[in-house]
Amino acid sequence: MDPACAKQGKEKKSKKERKIYAFLHESILTLQAKKNTMKLNKALTQRRAFLSGPAHRRRNCTHCKGEFPMETLNYQVLEKSGYDGYILKNAPEKVLQFGEGNFLRAFVDYWFDLANEKADWNGKCVLVQPIAPGLAKMINEQEGLYTLYLRGSENGQKVDDKRVISSVSRCLNPYEKADYEKMMDVAASDDLEIIVSNTTEAGIVYDPACQQNDCPPSSFPAKLTRVLYERYKAFNGAADKGLVILSCELIDNNGKELKKCCNNYAKDWNLEAEFIDWMNNANTFCSTLVDRIVPGRIRDPKELAAMEEANGYHDAVLDVGEVFGVWVIEGPAELEDKLPFKKAGVNVMVVPDVTPYKKRKVRILNGAHTGFVLGAYLAGFDIVRDCMHNDTVRGFMNKMLHEEIIPTLPLDKKDLEEFASAVEDRFNNPFVNHELMSISLNSTSKWKARNMPSFLAYIEEQKQLPKCLTMSLAAYIAFYSSDIQERTADGLICKRPAGNTYKIQDDAWALDFYYAHKDDTAAQLVNAVLTNTQMWDQDLTKIEGLEAAVLADLEMIRTQGAEAAYKSCL
């Protein structure tokens, strides 16, 4: 027997416990001598289970405390831990959610949990694995409970909030026959009101190979069609038994695309016209915009161990997201009262058209990233947070947002200003080291999609060049042409003013272009970039004064440094 364990537990263990431990210990010694690896591992697992059981842990064996896991989170363990936050143990299952990953649990299930607490919604979510490998077993072992940390910066202050989420009842794996049947039982339940999905960008696809009798069909839209058909049959096509379907996949018009796929399956499977009518008219397919960064897990083992020690339990599906979060749902006005979020007072809104909010996110959040990071990297910065601690870089970003981008957007200016102010907090997240080089990936297409629309709209409206966005375009050229070293199979190697090399990753044609122009003068390069219609779908030299302005900005970046160039815009 381990001396330390024996010393601490000798007087406290019952006679039966001492016999069990002694047997396990002797078995391990025998198997070690015989070098029987398979049986030895089994015996070690049994001893670990014994030592990590509640009887052993109640004795506070300090020798084993760090080596063996704490009790796994469930309702009983949570109660013993002394947690005093909001918890709802039992409630009707009102949501069927396709996707059990970190994002939905840190986003959608969080909003439903708040709705339970603040609006007395009294509902639970049944999660469904979209693919065979998944988290169902771990989620079910914890009775649907998991710990969510929302971490970041809010109004300039560090935030590290913990909440145990209790809006999940269970998780089903439809690739197991019993769970597939349970999914169909939920489909036919009178309690069901909402379907949510996030099956990745590749999830909303039409696969003609999927058949009605597959158990389950491989694609998510085919599974959803089966679920809807089951519900249609269960309620004889009653119009009031339709569902609200909230698609969270990161594609444009996600709800509309999902509806198209379901209609294709209904036709392929020769389902009755009455069902197709019910599917399209009794159900509400909503496109939605989701916005929350979800790192998903704690990567530092020591930090994770300290969290579990503080919590008093082990959580196999612990989740981490940023503080900021907004969910924009496209749908009819009456949907706002049907969903629980307005009553709960959370940052979820129902709007007639999600497009302006998509534009807000792309132009402000994503446009800010692409707009300042390339020059900031040349100036010697490596992560986003450090840029927010520099007056020049932060000032450049804020001027670009508030004076050049926001005036071109078709939304309430107060809303836009608040969203832009939150961007600075999000970029200043003390828990996330967001590397500038990771943001620089595919910057040619990113600048075109994220910054060019604001750039052109500003010129159209103000009849002049926007200083910061023009400088940002020059910084893009500077980043892609900084002392080019070589063209490798997967990138373009350049040298930073500080002396270290870096690898640009982009479409091959873009990298080939810059390598071919590596010996150009600044004027030749600027002209070649601005006249490249493959890059911009137009000849930018036709914009009055742009070529000269970009050339002047590029030469300033190269001679005085990117930080000084950014400062000249302020």
Instruction: Assess whether pLDDT exceeds 70 at residue 12.
Output: no
For 284, residues 6+ apart whose C-beta sits below 8 A from its C-beta are: 242, 243, 244, 245, 331, 332, 335
For 65, residues 6+ apart whose C-beta sits below 8 A from its C-beta are: none
Per-residue pLDDT of 217-253, as tens digits, reads 999 999 999 999 999 999 999 999 999 999 999 888 9
Check residue 504 and report its DSSP letter. E
Tell me which amino acid residue 442 is: N
Count of all residues that appear for the chain in the document: 570
Per-residue pLDDT of 513-555, as tens digits, reads 999 999 999 999 999 999 999 999 999 999 999 999 999 999 9
Tokens found for residue 29? 């010694």
pLDDT band at 25 (very low <50, low <70, confident <90, very high): low
Residue 321 has, within 13 A of its CA and on its CB side, a CA count of 23
Alpha carbon distance, N-terminus to C-terminus of the chain: 71
Position 37 scores a pLDDT of: 55
Strand partners, 492: 487, 504
Mean of per-residue pLDDT scores for the chain:
91
CA angle in degrees (0–180, nearest 5) for 445-449-450:
115
pLDDT band at 34 (very low <50, low <70, confident <90, very high): low
Short-list 190, 193, 166, 39, CA closest to 110: 166
Short-list 469, 466, 426, CA closest to 448: 469
Q: Please give the radius of gyration of the chain, using alpha carbons only, rounded to the nearest integer.
A: 29
- φ/ψ region of 561 (left if φ > 0, alpha if ψ in -120 to 50, else beta) reads left
Position 221 scores a pLDDT of: 96
The mean per-residue pLDDT over the stretch 311-325 comes to 95
Short-list 343, 145, 335, CA closest to 255: 335
Position 432 scores a pLDDT of: 87
Tokens found for residue 11? 């007087």
Strand partners, 283: none
Position 540 scores a pLDDT of: 98
Q: What are phi and psi of 125, to 5 degrees?
A: -110, 130
Reported pTM = 0.80
